[in-house]
């Protein structure tokens, strides 16, 4: 991650932004540290560009507009956020895109209609879904005709503002701005004025593209012409928020940090499921996502040997987790390694669990890991703090062969044919032990002697209906 606290050393903001843009590109390429001069003076100038942007759409009450967006936990995304990063003094406003969490659009709609906006004719609020999954639950398009201004409000499918942003079809769309700064998910493309859109654009029912207006950006739809391996720019690579690797975060007001919308968000996403760069090893060797975790003891033992052998060959570490495979006779210790292309273990989100449990949805590009995980820092039903945390990972609900877990049925002493209900254990279950008192969730080994304790923790959490929660925190995209 590159974090920059902006100031303006020159009286000419155009010259400064040009210089800053060149420096940012150089920083991305060479991973240099932020020079001291970028840390000190006028953040007011940078913030004023954001306020000027909002003033264009609410010239008589920019303060009220800004506070309403904040009350709705909204962020500015699309072309406006791109221009704030690339050319904040010279853009021509086209439209304003605002993303808000689920059930949060009404106050913003009410405010905008109060100051003269109306629902765009033929574009009444409607849901939007694609073959790649839902990114927004509702689109609201409003316009003001004197002079013409268009505002699109995208309401997320979850209580997070991230799905409309990270569920975008192109790298240019994966950016947002707040009162305190902006976050760009693919700076290596955007700072070089490239918009990578592996799926192409497609028309929506309201006559616009599902992509931001990207004047001045070159759009590419395939990486087949790249002459070197993709490395971390590979479009098929699952990306994570933890550690904010590869992100650009520009902050001009620490009190309204652009990191606030992603706090405590555990999700993974990728641009596409295939890589077309023939120089990239992922193009040939990236394994297809399994339909479900391995469940027979013979398959599990074979995979254990493969992972241990690969870790020994690559001189990388692995950690023992406890697997409750649905066809096994007893819980089994299995190795977890750091996922490919992850340089450092920052949290358990960085561990590759795909051989044992399938947490991400089939065909989806964004998955909230909070859907499939429950973390225990206290012994279930008590205030007793555990010395280490235990995170239980479940199979995703659309994983194939989601038949009842016989091992868990035996462990929980359930009838052989229990009535179907939301708490019925299905698919594999994986328990990961890790630290939780520090900023990093460093994984720890589960030993053979700990298995009885973990069994009791799983039984107790199931009895208290904590193991298979009926309410999920997010929705797949």
Q: Is beta strand 429-434 parallel, antiparallel or unpaired with respect to 385-394?
A: antiparallel
Q: Average pLDDT for residues 270-274, to the nearest whole number?
A: 78
Confidence of residue 207 (pLDDT cuts 50, 70, 90): very low
Q: 108-122, 204-218, 279-293: which range is least confident on average?
A: 204-218
Q: What angle do CA 90, 95, 96 make, to 5 degrees?
A: 95
More confident residue, 176 or 292: 176
d(Cα 107, Cα 100) in Å, to the nearest integer? 11
Q: What is the pLDDT of residues 220-245, one digit of tens each?
A: 888 888 888 887 778 877 787 766 67
Confidence of residue 210 (pLDDT cuts 50, 70, 90): very low
d(Cα 148, Cα 94) in Å, to the nearest integer? 10
Provide the pLDDT for residue 278.
Answer: 85
Nearest to 276 by CA among 347, 223, 329, 346: 223
pLDDT at 14 > cutoff 70: no
Q: 126-130, 356-360, 465-469: which range is least confident on average?
A: 126-130
Confidence of residue 37 (pLDDT cuts 50, 70, 90): very low
Provide the pLDDT for residue 244.
Answer: 67
In the predicted model, what is the mean pLDDT of the chain? Answer: 76
Confidence of residue 22 (pLDDT cuts 50, 70, 90): very low
Q: What angle do CA 304, 310, 315 make, to 5 degrees?
A: 125
d(Cα 372, Cα 379) in Å, to the nearest integer? 20
Contact status, residue 117 vs residue 140, Cβ threshold 8 Å: no
Confidence of residue 363 (pLDDT cuts 50, 70, 90): low
pLDDT at 86 > cutoff 90: no
Nearest to 165 by CA among 81, 107, 83, 229: 81
Length of the chain: 477
Reply yes or no: is the peptide bond before residue 147 cis, omega within 30 of 0: yes
Confidence of residue 298 (pLDDT cuts 50, 70, 90): very high
Instruction: Write down the residue that tokens 């594999």 correspond to.
Output: 428
Nearest to 182 by CA among 406, 409, 4, 29: 4
Which CA distances in Å does 69 have to 63, 66, 135, 177, 368? 10, 5, 20, 11, 24
Q: What is the pTM of this model?
A: 0.74
Confidence of residue 475 (pLDDT cuts 50, 70, 90): very low
Provide the pLDDT for residue 283.
Answer: 59
What's the half-sphere exposure (Cβ side, CA atoms, 13 Å) at 284? 5
d(Cα 241, Cα 223) in Å, to the nearest integer? 24
Q: 193-207, 287-301, 352-366: which range is least confident on average?
A: 193-207
More confident residue, 390 or 29: 390
pLDDT at 16 > cutoff 50: no
Contact status, residue 85 vs residue 53, Cβ threshold 8 Å: no
> Of 276-280, 342-346, 430-434, which has the strongest mean pLDDT?
430-434
Q: Average pLDDT for residues 260-288, to the nearest whole number?
A: 74
Provide the pLDDT for residue 303.
Answer: 92
d(Cα 96, Cα 140) in Å, to the nearest integer? 12
Q: What is the pLDDT of residues 182-199, one digit of tens each?
A: 999 888 888 888 888 886
Provide the pLDDT for residue 390.
Answer: 96
Provide the pLDDT for residue 350.
Answer: 81
Confidence of residue 368 (pLDDT cuts 50, 70, 90): confident
Confidence of residue 450 (pLDDT cuts 50, 70, 90): very high
Provide the pLDDT for residue 340.
Answer: 67
The domain ranges of the chain are 2-269, 287-463
Handedness of CA 67, 69, 72, 74 (dihedral sign): negative
Question: What phi and psi, each to the nearest 5 degrees, are found at residue 60?
Answer: -100, -5
Confidence of residue 417 (pLDDT cuts 50, 70, 90): low
pLDDT at 408 > cutoff 80: yes
Contact status, residue 428 vs residue 292, Cβ threshold 8 Å: yes
């Amino acid at each position: 991650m590159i974090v920059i606290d902006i100031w303006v050393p020159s009286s000419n903001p155009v010259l400064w932004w040009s210089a800053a843009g060149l420096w940012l590109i150089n920083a991305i390429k060479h991973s240099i540290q932020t020079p001291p001069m970028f840390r000190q003076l006028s953040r007011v100038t940078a913030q004023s560009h954001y306020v000027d942007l909002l003033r264009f759409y609410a010239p008589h009450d920019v303060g009220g507009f800004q506070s309403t967006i904040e009350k709705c936990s909204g962020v500015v995304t699309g072309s406006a956020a791109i221009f704030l990063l690339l050319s904040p003094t010279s853009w021509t406003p086209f439209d304003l895109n605002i993303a808000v969490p689920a059930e949060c659009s009404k106050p913003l709609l009410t405010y905008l209609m109060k100051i003269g906006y109306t629902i765009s004719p033929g574009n009444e609020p409607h849901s939007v879904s694609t073959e790649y999954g839902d990114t927004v639950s509702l689109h609201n398009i409003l316009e003001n005709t004197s002079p013409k201004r268009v505002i699109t409000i995208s309401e997320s499918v979850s209580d997070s503002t991230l799905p409309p942003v990270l569920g975008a079809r192109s790298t240019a769309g994966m950016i947002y701005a707040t009162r305190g700064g902006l976050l760009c998910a693919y700076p290596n493309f955007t700072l070089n004025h490239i918009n990578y859109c592996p799926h192409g654009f497609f028309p929506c029912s309201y006559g616009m593209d599902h992509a931001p207006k990207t004047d001045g950006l070159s759009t590419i739809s395939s990486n087949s012409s790249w002459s070197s391996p993709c490395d971390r720019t590979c479009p098929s690579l699952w990306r994570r928020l933890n550690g904010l690797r590869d992100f650009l975060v520009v902050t001009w007001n620490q009190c309204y940090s652009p990191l606030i919308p992603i706090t405590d968000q555990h999700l993974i996403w990728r641009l596409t499921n295939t890589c077309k760069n023939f120089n990239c090893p992922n193009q040939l060797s990236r394994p297809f996502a399994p339909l479900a975790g391995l469940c027979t003891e013979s398959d599990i033992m074979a995979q254990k040997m493969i992972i241990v052998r690969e870790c020994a060959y690559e001189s990388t570490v692995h950690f023992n987790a406890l697997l409750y495979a649905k066809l096994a006779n007893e819980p089994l210790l299995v190795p977890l390694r750091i996922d490919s292309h992850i340089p450092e273990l920052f949290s358990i989100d960085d561990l590759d669990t795909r051989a044992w449990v399938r947490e991400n949805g089939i065909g989806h590009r964004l998955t909230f890991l909070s859907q499939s995980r429950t973390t225990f820092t206290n012994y279930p039903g008590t205030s007793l703090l555990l010395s280490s945390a235990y995170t239980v990972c479940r199979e995703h609900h659309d994983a194939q062969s989601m038949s009842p877990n016989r091992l868990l049925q035996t462990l929980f002493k359930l009838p052989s044919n229990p009535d179907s209900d939301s708490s019925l254990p299905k698919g594999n279950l994986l328990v990961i032990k890790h630290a939780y008192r520090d900023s990093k969730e460093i994984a720890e080994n589960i030993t053979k002697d700990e298995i009885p304790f973990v069994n009791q923790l799983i039984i107790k959490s199931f009895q208290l209906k904590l193991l298979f929660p009926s309410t999920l925190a997010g929705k797949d995209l």
